[in-house]
Amino acid sequence: MANGNITDALRFPSYRRVFALQVTVRIAKYLAQASIGAAIYCATNSAAILGLQAATALTMAACSVPVAGWLMTRWAPRQIIRIGLGSLIFVLAIACVLSIGGTTASWLMLGAAGCIAATTGCVGATLQALETTSVPNEVRQSAISVASLASGIPRVFGLAIGAAVGVTFSAGVCFAIVVAILVIALMLPVNCVPAGSCASATGSRTPLHDVATGVSAGIGDKRMRPMLLVLGLTMIALLPIESQLPALLSACSGDLAFYLGALAIGGIIGGPSFGYLASRQPGSLVSIGLTLGIVGVGLLALLAGSLWAAIPMLLLGLSWELVWCSVRCAAQTGLDENNGQAVLRLMTMACSLVPAAGSLLLGLVVESLSAQVGLLLCGSLLLGSCLVRRRPRTHEGDVPSHVPAPRVQVEELTPVRI
């Protein structure tokens, strides 16, 4: 993108439609996630149960990703999206009625969290495949950079508002808001994709075959292997912090929304920062992200309980976004189309499955020892990622320097009904 613009991908109407739908679905996802988590912790005051809720949601989201790859071989993306959102609206409407009627059992919260995670995971994986196939190859780096905004913007509104709703009102009110947002998402059009079906380009014979393809492509590439290991360690270190934030910061009030908002703003800054640095410091993006993560975890341990803890939360959001975008860009620009999409789905699945175990572990550590010990464990994992990152020069480079990114002429892609 040295000669291009970070927002080149938004010039394509097909990409703008996918972007709008991603933002809407993720607002609903993060709002429900934060609201349910805050409600559970305020009701039980247990970090272990909070970790169980996060692990349930993350595990369901992880299992849904290879299923999405398998469904794309049989259904058009629009069918997957509409059926997924429609079924989720039906389930959450029932949960809303039960919750408002006085049913506030933990099983209802855990079941709702699992349904939301599984459905939005399947729909999100389908939209993720459309993100880069909706633009020409020369602007894929821009598409990845802009796609981070589709995660960062909803996190600001979803996490902050969801935490406030979960503490101030009830989970039933949250379910009603999520249903309304999903109805809006169901009405958004996604009827224009590049020539060639996304299903035939990225689908697999079975969900297990999809996972095997991603593992084989990632491990078989010498450049991707250490980057995927770094990404895995970073997932375990950073992502559980979000789900355990009420316990780590002893926050069960409006302060939680403030901290989650700071985390989300860091993610928003990370997208444009990746696009800017990719053309100037392509070989050090992951290292910069890990350094910011170590500093953020250390400051969080020192400033826990203070409003100044928002500063390390912002650094953690920025750190994760830089590492994630760097590894994703390497997979989608350094591998062929089929292998790149398979590795991306593997990364997305791991992004849910790995932190599920991490959330349980961190919850148990905080419950039995202290928040500082839990954060020390997270910082140690990030230091381990830095050691893995110290590879020979031939393995470095977060973004391939040979990928051209000229400014492209705007043109509408060939519309195809899906």
pLDDT digits (tens, 9 = 90+) for 132-175: 777 887 787 778 778 777 777 777 777 667 767 766 777 778 88
Residue 284 has pLDDT above 70, yes or no: yes
pLDDT tens, 293-342? 999 898 988 887 777 888 898 999 889 888 888 888 888 777 777 777 77
| CATH H-level superfamily of 8-395 | MFS general substrate transporter like domains (1.20.1250.20)
Q: Residue 363: pLDDT band by 50, 70, 90 thresholds?
A: confident
Residue-level pLDDT at 282: 57
Q: What is the mean pLDDT of the chain?
A: 75
Whole-number percent of the chain with pLDDT over 70: 78
| Residues 53/59/64/66 CA torsion (nearest 10 deg) | 170
Q: Which two tokens stand for residue 165?
A: 């709703």
Residue-level pLDDT at 288: 87
CA distances to 91, 203, 341, 403 from 397, rounded to whole Å, are 45, 29, 20, 12
- As a whole number of angstroms, the distance between CA 214 and CA 2 comes to 30
Which region holds residue 197: left if phi is over 0, alpha if psi is between -120 and 50, else beta? beta
Q: Which residues contact 119 (CB under 8 A, 6 or more apart)?
A: 64, 84, 85, 87, 88
pLDDT tens, 26-43? 888 888 877 777 677 766
Residue 67 has pLDDT above 60, yes or no: yes
The phi, psi pair for 413, rounded to 5°, reads -75, 160
Residue-level pLDDT at 315: 92
Average pLDDT over residues 204-220: 74
Residue-level pLDDT at 254: 53
Residue-level pLDDT at 279: 65
Average pLDDT over residues 56-61: 80
Q: Residue 105: pLDDT band by 50, 70, 90 thresholds?
A: low
124: exposed, middle or buried (Cβ count in 10 Å: 0-12, 13-18, 19+): buried
More confident residue, 317 or 367: 317
Question: How is the chain split into domains, by residue range?
Answer: 8-395
77 close to 122: Cβ distance less than 8 angstroms: no
More confident residue, 109 or 104: 109
Q: Which residues contact 226 (CB under 8 A, 6 or more apart)?
A: 388, 389, 391, 395
The owner of tokens 């398998």 is 70
331: exposed, middle or buried (Cβ count in 10 Å: 0-12, 13-18, 19+): buried
Q: What is the DSSP string of 124-136?
A: HHHHHHHHHHTS-
User: Rounded to an integer, what is the distance from CA 270 to the centroid of its chain?
Assistant: 13
Query: pTM for this one?
Result: 0.66
- As a whole number of angstroms, the distance between CA 228 and CA 226 comes to 5
- As a whole number of angstroms, the distance between CA 372 and CA 312 comes to 14
Could you tell me which of 388, 360, 354, 384 has the C-alpha nearest to residue 374? 360
Residue 17 has pLDDT above 70, yes or no: yes
Q: Which two tokens stand for residue 206?
A: 């079975």
- As a whole number of angstroms, the distance between CA 155 and CA 32 comes to 11
Residue 414 has pLDDT above 70, yes or no: no
Residue-level pLDDT at 295: 92
More confident residue, 408 or 370: 370
Which region holds residue 151: left if phi is over 0, alpha if psi is between -120 and 50, else beta? alpha
The owner of tokens 């009627």 is 101
pLDDT tens, 322-333? 888 888 888 877
State which amino acid sits at residue 331. Answer: A
More confident residue, 121 or 394: 121
Residue-level pLDDT at 410: 41
342 close to 224: Cβ distance less than 8 angstroms: no
Residue-level pLDDT at 397: 42
42 close to 169: Cβ distance less than 8 angstroms: no
- As a whole number of angstroms, the distance between CA 53 and CA 355 comes to 12
358 close to 239: Cβ distance less than 8 angstroms: yes
Q: Which two tokens stand for residue 312?
A: 């390390």
Residue 213 has pLDDT above 70, yes or no: yes
Residue 121 has pLDDT above 80, yes or no: yes
- Count of residues in the chain: 418
- As a whole number of angstroms, the distance between CA 304 and CA 251 comes to 10
Residue 389 has pLDDT above 70, yes or no: no
CA distances to 7, 153, 398 from 325, rounded to whole Å, are 15, 16, 9
215: exposed, middle or buried (Cβ count in 10 Å: 0-12, 13-18, 19+): middle
Residue 221 has pLDDT above 60, yes or no: yes
Q: Which of 57-66, 372-381, 383-392 has the lowest mean pLDDT?
A: 383-392
- Residue 319's CB is within 10 A of a number of other CB atoms, namely 28
The owner of tokens 């928002």 is 310
